[in-house]
């Protein structure tokens, strides 16, 4: 998707990707007195599945701190993030899962001691006999609970985004089901009397 925002070529092209958020560093915003644009992040779920939701938004592969996720399909929220002027990458990901616990049989090796003879020590009346022990490996089994993760639905979008100083953009991520999601980009344009208009910053929904 291609479009122009504030006379600059600001492209937002989203494609399905695989994201890993484990161990990702946190995004640090510019301070309010530094040059920046504003990105308002929205997430809306139109379908849900599973009992747990894992989600992530990243700017330049750095994680944005989000409110605790919930599996409520009507959930939507908005968070504004200051971003330095220039070209950036933005990623959205959400995964619905549930957990299944079952009993499995494990085989393991245990070492045990057993008497395997005697030894005699000392001399004369001071001599004595003691039992000698050896060690052997014994194969055993046990039943233990094992929990596995089942993915009920997942989707992700990622792409480049350009922003200028003073720009206000809205990025809205909509989840419709497994591998069915989209991201829309809008520019918030001030109008008379404190009003504002929403202008697409290039392209509309993709991936559904």
Per-residue pLDDT of 55-109, as tens digits, reads 899 999 999 887 776 655 555 667 899 999 999 999 999 999 999 999 999 999 9
Judgement on whether residues 175 and 128 belong to the same structural domain of the protein: no
- Domain of residue 125: give its range: 102-146
Task: Give dist(CA 73, CA 75) in Å, integer.
Answer: 6
Task: Give dist(CA 1, CA 14) in Å, integer.
Answer: 8
Judgement on whether residues 163 and 195 belong to the same structural domain of the protein: yes
Judgement on whether residues 15 and 51 belong to the same structural domain of the protein: yes
Judgement on whether residues 109 and 82 belong to the same structural domain of the protein: no
Judgement on whether residues 109 and 167 belong to the same structural domain of the protein: no
Judgement on whether residues 90 and 10 belong to the same structural domain of the protein: yes
Per-residue pLDDT of 107-162, as tens digits, reads 999 999 998 888 888 777 778 888 899 999 999 999 999 999 999 999 999 988 88
CA angle 20, 55, 82 (to 5 degrees): 95
Q: Do residues 92 and 181 make contact, with C-beta atoms less than 8 angstroms apart? A: yes
- The answer, as to whether pTM is greater than 0.85, is no
Judgement on whether residues 46 and 74 belong to the same structural domain of the protein: yes
Does residue 208 form part of some domain? no
Judgement on whether residues 131 and 177 belong to the same structural domain of the protein: no
What would the DSSP string read from start to end of 126-190? G-EEEEEEEEEEEEEEEEEEEEEEEEEEEEEEEEEEEE-TT-EEEEEEEEEETTEEEEEEEEEEE
């Amino acid at each position: 998707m291609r479009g122009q925002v504030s006379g600059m070529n600001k492209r937002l092209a989203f494609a399905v990707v695989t994201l890993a958020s484990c161990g990702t560093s946190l995004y640090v915003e510019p301070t309010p007195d530094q040059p920046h644009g504003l990105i308002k992040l929205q997430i809306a779920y139109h379908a849900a599945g599973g009992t747990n939701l894992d989600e992530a938004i990243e700017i330049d592969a750095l994680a944005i701190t989000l409110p605790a996720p919930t599996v409520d399909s009507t959930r939507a929220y908005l968070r504004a993030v200051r971003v330095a002027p220039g070209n950036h990458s933005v990623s959205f990901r959400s995964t619905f899962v549930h957990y299944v616990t079952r009993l499995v049989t494990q085989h393991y090796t245990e070492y045990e001691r057993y008497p395997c003879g005697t030894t005699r020590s000392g001399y004369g009346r001071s001599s004595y006999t003691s039992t000698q022990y050896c060690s052997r490996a014994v194969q055993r089994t046990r039943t233990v609970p094992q929990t596995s993760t089942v993915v009920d639905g997942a989707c992700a979008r990622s792409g480049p985004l350009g922003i200028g100083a003073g720009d206000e953009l809205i990025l809205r991520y909509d989840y419709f089901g497994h591998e069915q999601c989209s991201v829309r980009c809008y520019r918030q344009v001030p109008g008379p009397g404190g009003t504002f208009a929403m202008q697409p910053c290039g392209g509309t929904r993709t991936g559904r």
